[in-house]
Chains A and B, each alone.
Chain A
Amino acid sequence: MADFDRELDASGLNCPLPILRAKKTLADMESGQVLHIIATDPGSVKDFEAFAKQTGNELMSSGEEGGKFTFLMKKS
């Protein structure tokens, strides 16, 4: 069973697109649901932290795997 409800692949996209796509995807989700985000933009690591802090959505985890950055974000 996947530990997330939706997935967003923002690979190859640069600032600010990963954030904007995540925001759009979260808008279609229910409160408490979890979004799995994949990105290749190194700047997205700090940006998703800042996004979570300012929007109230919880950044549950942030990691790197084979040159890709992955995030789990729970909608507030």
Chain B
Amino acid sequence: MTEKKLAIIATKGTLDWAYPPFILASTAAALGYETEIFFTFYGLQLLKKDLTLQVSPLGNPGMPMPMPVPILLQALPGMQSMMTMMMKQKMKSKGVASVEELRELCVEAEVRLVACQMTVDLFEFDTKDFIDGIEFGGAATFFEFAGESDICMYI
């Protein structure tokens, strides 16, 4: 059985959107897929050693709220931190892994993590702030792997 390949582009840097790439990549690796995640734009936040990901109810009418909060109140200072704290507590109580834990599982399973060099330069990120063992590359690097992948997704 030849190894299947999964290529993911991770473009979002919020707590909620950190889950799909890491859940799918770690699971694919467990199923025997060779897996690569290409992190670009806000997705680069997911590679920081110190993850300070937040979730925002603003502009997200699909987010289930424990109680209805009018949109203007959602914009008040502190609301985002409060929602983030509540979301993290909820996840913990439901046995959902932390983003750090899922990312660690990906690293252990040798999922290839590639940071988009162009966005690193654009946002002037310090590469020392990223976790060890990642690679840096551009669109052509991504296609080298993605072109041979069985599944390719943009998140």
> Which A residues are closer than 8 A to B by beta carbons?
12-17, 19-20, 23, 40-41, 51, 54-56
Contacts and interface: CB of A to CB of B under 8 A. Distances in A.
B27 interface: yes
Q: Is the interface of B mostly helix, strand, loop or mixed?
A: loop
Interface residues of B, number: 12
B95 interface: yes
Interface of B: 1, 23, 26-27, 30-32, 94-97, 105
A16 B23 contact: yes
Contacts of A41: 95
B30 A16 contact: yes
A19 B30 contact: yes
A53 B44 CA distance: 34
Given A20-B105, A41-B95, A15 B23 contact: yes
